[in-house]
Amino acid sequence: MPAPVPGFPEAAMIACLFFVFLVPLAAAGISLINAGLGRSRSASHMMMAAISSLSIAAVVYFICGFAWQGFIGRPGHVLALSGKSWNWIAAEPFFFRGMAFDGSPASLAALLQIFCVGLAALIPLGSGADRWRLRASCASAAILAGWTYPLFAHWVWGGGWLAQLGANYGLGHGFIDPGGSSTIHVVGGLCALAVTWILGPRRGKYSPDGMAPAIPGHNGVLVLFGCLLALLGWFGLNSAGAILFTGSAPAQTILIAINTMLQAATGSLTAAIITGIRFGKPDASLSANGWVGGLVASSATCAFVVPAEAIVIGSIAGALVTFSVEWFELRLEVDDPGGAVSVHAVGGIWGILAIGLFARFHGPILNVAGNSLPVTGGGAPGQWLARVAANLWPELGPESHLPLPSSDRGRTPGHGSL
């Protein structure tokens, strides 16, 4: 029995374990949504692709993915550039070798990532519905889990250069994304966009006269039940991520869950209202997309906003997803049956933007190795802009000259203690 890790009490470890164990429900929910939004004859194939992708992602991530992702405060390869050091990839041994499964944040992160990488691998399946071969989707899952995802996740969660932006250029806390709006969803959503590009639309989707008849999902019960399961998975994902990657205490997951629920609710209601006004009847598929879009955006913001702000963020996510689905389908002729590009890429980018616009930080954020960063409170428009900049356009400039609001000084570190 290992001794408790300093600064990470056993209560936080057990809470985190429990949150991590909920995450596969997000994968189950997304699988059902993908299966329900496709055609009936390919539903079983879709679930088979989901199970296979999850399996391959887990095995490949175990083999080499974690070695390249790593964790804050563990070894990485560093580039020296313009006088500053940039950590661009981790340097762990393969096969989880040397990892002590002792309840440390690093070991919990390894377990969490096995599920997160599977979730990311499921996202392109929705876009490739009805036409993606099993072998190709498995190869895509392997590349995502073995290289693309670990690299980007290292930059954000592993103490890499995006997380270092704050310290290196004084850009506030650097790039913050506790639940993976960017690492899981933008990565998965852009991969989905590439897949639709390569596969082209389904036969009969775009006729020569430019009409694009909607091919409705075959099973609304699967889709909407999947939404409910995904909600539980997201509670786990956002809570575990906030504890492991941004130093939240277990008690703060109450706020996280409330925000997550409200964002899903408002995302779905906004989509229902918009489609109700435009088509005379709320559309179930787009409401489901709005629900998941709200969840995706919540991953970045849930720990740092108050519930009233979560409602605004969720409503905007629902509206963005609704219009984006139509825009991709009709303007760009991207045939994306699951709406994966809109839900995950657009929803994720909105989440990253929203954390810059809305987030208030009430304590040090532990996203760079060992160093609790100084706190910058929310409020002034200049700070908002700088924070958006830090999350999106790191080259825009420093915000280190902004004064610290005194109310945020002297807070205790984030983790709970018994």
Instruction: State which of positions 363-392 bind a second copy (CB under 8 A).
Output: 363
- The HSE-up count of residue 288 (CA atoms within 13 Å, CB side) is 27
Residues near 385 by beta carbon (within 8 Å), at least 6 away in sequence: none
Q: Based on CB atoms, which residue is closest to a second copy, 35 or 165?
A: 35
Identified binder of a second copy from the candidate list 119, 156, 162, 269, rule CB under 8 A? 269
Question: Any idea which residue has 């219009």 for tokens?
Answer: 323
By CB under 8 A, residue 35 contacts a second copy: yes
Rounded to whole angstroms, the Cα distance separating 385 from 161 reads: 20
Q: Based on CB atoms, which residue is closest to a second copy, 186 or 244?
A: 244
Min. distance of Cβ 116 from a second copy in angstroms? 12
Q: Based on CB atoms, which residue is closest to a second copy, 397 or 416?
A: 416
Q: Binding to a second copy (CB under 8 A): which residues in 83-122?
A: 95-96, 101-103, 107-108, 110-111, 114-115
The torsion angle over the Cα atoms of residues 136, 137, 139 and 140, rounded to 10 degrees, is 120
Q: Based on CB atoms, which residue is closest to a second copy, 47 or 167?
A: 47
Judged by CB under 8 A, the stretch of 74-82, 192-200, 345-353, 409-417 that binds a second copy is 409-417
The CA–CA distances, whole Å, from 70 to 92, 106, 107, 118, 209 equal 6, 8, 10, 17, 51
Identified binder of a second copy from the candidate list 33, 37, 39, 54, rule CB under 8 A? 54
Q: Binding to a second copy (CB under 8 A): which residues in 235-254?
A: 235-236, 249-254
Min. distance of Cβ 188 from a second copy in angstroms? 18
Q: Are 19 and 233 in contact (CB under 8 A)?
A: no
Longest alpha-carbon distance in the chain:
69
Q: Based on CB atoms, which residue is closest to a second copy, 15 or 72?
A: 15
Percent of the chain that is helix, strand, coil (3-state, to 5)? 65, 5, 30
Q: Based on CB atoms, which residue is closest to a second copy, 377 or 416?
A: 416
DSSP code of residue 183: I
Q: Binding to a second copy (CB under 8 A): which residues in 201-230?
A: 219-225, 227-229
Give CA angle at 227 (361, 235), nearest 5°: 30
Q: Based on CB atoms, which residue is closest to a second copy, 287 or 376?
A: 287
By CB under 8 A, residue 52 contacts a second copy: yes
Q: Binding to a second copy (CB under 8 A): which residues in 149-178?
A: none
Judged by CB under 8 A, the stretch of 47-55, 81-89, 175-183, 350-358 that binds a second copy is 47-55
Q: Based on CB atoms, which residue is closest to a second copy, 44 or 85?
A: 44
Q: Are 191 and 119 in contact (CB under 8 A)?
A: no
Min. distance of Cβ 245 from a second copy in angstroms? 16
The CA–CA distances, whole Å, from 149 to 141, 187, 309, 341 equal 10, 7, 30, 17
Instruction: Draw the binding track, 310-339, toward a second copy (x: CB under 8 A; -: no contact).
Output: -x----------------------------
Q: Are 89 and 77 in contact (CB under 8 A)?
A: yes
Identified binder of a second copy from the candidate list 257, 292, 325, 368, rule CB under 8 A? 257
263: closest CA among 324, 186, 328, 354? Answer: 354
Tokens of 340: 């994966």
By CB under 8 A, residue 48 contacts a second copy: yes
Q: Based on CB atoms, which residue is closest to a second copy, 102 or 326?
A: 102
Q: How many residues bind a second copy (CB under 8 A)?
A: 94
Min. distance of Cβ 75 from a second copy in angstroms? 20
Identified binder of a second copy from the candidate list 232, 353, 357, 389, rule CB under 8 A? 232
Residues near 234 by beta carbon (within 8 Å), at least 6 away in sequence: 26, 179, 260, 264, 295, 298, 299
Residues near 99 by beta carbon (within 8 Å), at least 6 away in sequence: 66, 92, 106, 107, 110
